[in-house]
Amino acid sequence: MKTNGAGLLVFALLAVGGSEAQGQVRLGPEVSLAQDVDFGIGAVVEMPMTSIHERLEFAGRFTLFFPDRGNYWELDGDVRYLFPLAGENTLLPYAMAGLAIGHSSWDYEGPGDGSTVSDTELALRIGGGAKFPMASFTPFVDLGLTIGDLPDFNLRAGVTFPLG
């Protein structure tokens, strides 16, 4: 499935435009392990979606992976449903669902001229994880399963910090 730059821009604007709580936006680094594309590093932004429901938040991320062959990156946008535990303030489990756009490119060295081949795919990602809120930062870990033509699973861990 080919995706153009305008589609990526619209996706990003819709995702980021949904946050009305400026002081509650969180940003941070993450590491990722995924089937077929190995290790990745990236950034995640989290923002509440309290105008829709008090337990919803948006998580957007960009991850650059380092597969054995070629280049691969993903742009994800997930909506998380948070499950606060009674009396527990150090564990916040969540379920998530969203879209993932993956782009791969590699050099073709076969008969004829060498050239670069690329492909962009869109898939649904579902999963869950947990946040561990602390005073000034929040570690997290989650597992996403993909329905579509991207890596079947993605295990991520990172930490977010409040902006502003």
Phi, psi of 23 (to 5 degrees): -70, -10
User: Where residue 11 falls among pLDDT bands split at 50, 70, 90?
Assistant: very low
> Rounded to an integer, what distance in angstroms lies between the CA atom of residue 51 and that of residue 33?
33
DSSP 84: P
Measured CA to CA, the distance from residue 161 to residue 158 in angstroms comes to 10
Q: CA of 53: how far to CAs of 7, 13, 48, 49, in Å?
A: 27, 20, 9, 6
Q: Mind listing the pLDDT tens digit for each residue in 103-115? A: 988 877 766 666 7
pLDDT in tens, 40-94: 999 999 999 999 999 999 999 999 999 888 899 999 999 999 998 888 778 999 9
Q: Which strand (E) or helix (H) includes residue 51?
A: none
The tally of domains found in the chain comes to 1
Q: Collect all residues with Cβ–Cβ distance below 8 Å to 141 and sequence separation of at least 6.
A: 129, 130, 155, 156, 157
Top pLDDT among 116 and 134 is at 134
The domain containing residue 96 runs over which residues? 5-162
What pLDDT sits at residue 4?
46
Distance of alpha carbon 49 from alpha carbon 21, whole angstroms: 8
24: domain CATH number is: 2.40.160.20
Which pLDDT band holds residue 128 (cuts at 50, 70, 90)? very high
pLDDT exceeds 60 at position 33: yes
pLDDT band at 17 (very low <50, low <70, confident <90, very high): very low
Asked if residue 20 lies in contact with residue 51, where contact means CB atoms within 8 angstroms, the answer is yes
pTM of the model: 0.79
Query: For residue 89, what is the enclosing H or E element?
Result: none
Mean pLDDT of all residues in 3-28: 55
Q: pLDDT exceeding 90 applies to what percent of the chain?
A: 57
Residues 6+ apart with CB under 8 A from 111: none
Give pLDDT, residue 140.
Answer: 97
Q: Is the pLDDT of residue 151 over 70?
A: yes
Provide the token pair at 69: 């062959």
